[in-house]
Amino acid sequence: MLSFPPDWTFIVQIILFLVLWVCLRRLLFEPNLAVLKKREQQSAGALQEASRVSAEAQEMAEQYKTRLAQTRAGAMQQVDTVYRAAEEQARTLIEDARAESNQTVMNMRETLRQELAAARQDLEKGVPDFSRAIAEKLLGRPLTQP
């Protein structure tokens, strides 16, 4: 039973408890707290590093998207330029072909006109002979020369 004032065993128990407390604190609690604190710092550092890496990845993704959009726009512009150049070249080729065909047709018409004129002259020269031959065939006898 407890008596008041407590006897000397109670004081010894308190002293032993304090000694045990100091020993446990130095040998167990402080090293464990240091390990826990170190783990917390590493975890916080790892979280900060992960956050930083994530932010960098986001920034790189945005830069990639921007560069990709710029590249696509540039490629589309180049395609458009090539397409317009091809259209212009096709238009030029068609115009040249039309001009050449018109020139060819004009040359052929001139050649035909000249050949027709030459044929008419030849036929006009041969009209008396043809008419004589036709008349001889129709009459069935040779015609006398005038």
How many residues in the chain? 146
Residue 87, Cβ neighbours under 10 Å: how many?
10
Q: What is the reported pLDDT for 134?
A: 87
37's tokens: 């604190």
Q: What percent of the chain has pLDDT over 70?
A: 95
Q: Which helix (H) or strand (E) holds 130?
A: helix 30-139
The model's pLDDT over 8-39, given as tens digits with 9 standing for 90+, comes to 888 899 999 999 999 999 999 999 999 999 99
pTM score: 0.44
Dist. CA 123–CA 119, nearest whole Å: 6
